[in-house]
Structure 1
Amino acid sequence: MSLPQQAHEALEAFNRSQGWDQRARLLMQWGDRLQPLDDEHKVEANRVHGCESRVWLVAERVDDRWQFKASSDARLLRGLLALLLARVQGLGSHALADVDLRAWFTQLGLERQLSPSRSNGLHAVLQRMAELSAHA
């Protein structure tokens, strides 16, 4: 499966980084790139349950491809969300269902930084994306 352009950019950037300190800074920078969600989108209906931190997700289908916006109160999680979005933006419903979250974060060299609770939270976000795309 081919990767979206943003996912290629993320892989290149993270593969160039040396060690956790550089990856952590890069992760924060990616989180700062997330488009902010308007307060009108930060409502219970858009909340992703299964995350320790508050996470909101908004989906829009454009020509059978999915565009997502996400936000969180937690800065590190915003970075992880930005990397997840880089991986899934513009995918169709079937391709979205086939995304291997663990493999993606392993490719980025971030698998060790995914605590079980963060990993579960990101899986909850990916699952919510799949639900939204399946019911559209």
Structure 2
Amino acid sequence: MNSDRLIKNFSRCIDWEDKYLYIISLGEKFACLPPEEQVPGNAISGCQSKVWITVNVVDGKIELAGNSDAALVKGLVAMVIIVLSGKTPDQLLETDIKKIFADMGLALQLTPARNQGLESMIRTIYSQVQALS
């Protein structure tokens, strides 16, 4: 799955109920951080739910993994992973994920707390990638 496919599939959902179900299904498929990596060092602060994300470089490309204890948030983690994984650090830092999600209408449908948590995930990932560069 890549960001183009994500956007295409998301746009095919009939209404926001379908979109939420799609987001949750993404979490089940793409947000699979093993329990041994769900440690405080990988925790994302600023989220109501528990969220863990790892950032690694493999063969010059960023590989993200993550998980959450909440189904919808786990799906949001998966969306971030889909959009950002597999890019070089420079490509990732040039990706305007906030615009991608805004174009999908995501921010308008999430609660302020969920938006804040999503922002914390994104900020943490970009900060860690900048530190790797």
Correspondence list, 1:34-53, <5 A = 34-53=30-49
**Compared with structure 1, are the counterparts of its residues 102 and 51 closer, same or farther at alpha carbon in structure 2 (3 Å cutoff)?**
same
**Compared with structure 1, are the counterparts of its residues 124 and 39 closer, same or farther at alpha carbon in structure 2 (3 Å cutoff)?**
same
Q: Percent identity?
A: 26
What is the alpha-carbon distance in structure 2 between the residues aligned to residue 50 and residue 95 of structure 1? 25
1:60 is aligned, of 56, 63, 67, to: 56
Q: TM-score, normalised by structure 2?
A: 0.89
State the AA in 2 paired with 1:128.
T
State the AA in 2 paired with 1:133.
V
- Structure 2: stretches of 5+ with no match in the other structure: none
1:83 is aligned, of 79, 83, 107, to: 79
CA apart distance, 1:66: 0.2
Aligned to 2:123: 127
Aligned to 1:33: 29
CA apart distance, 1:35: 4.3
* Number of aligned residues: 132
What is the alpha-carbon distance in structure 2 between the residues aligned to residue 49 and residue 39 of structure 1? 18
Aligned to 1:92: 88
CA apart distance, 1:93: 2.0
Contact 2:93 2:130 in 1 (8 A): no
Contact 1:66 1:92 in 2 (8 A): yes
**Compared with structure 1, are the counterparts of its residues 82 and 35 closer, same or farther at alpha carbon in structure 2 (3 Å cutoff)?**
closer
Task: Extract structure 1 runs of 4+ deviating beyond 3 A.
Answer: none
CA apart distance, 1:70: 0.7
What is the alpha-carbon distance in structure 1 between the residues aligned to residue 118 and residue 34 of structure 2? 21
CA apart distance, 1:94: 2.5
What is the alpha-carbon distance in structure 1 between the residues aligned to residue 9 and residue 32 of structure 2? 22
1:10 is aligned, of 6, 18, 22, to: 6
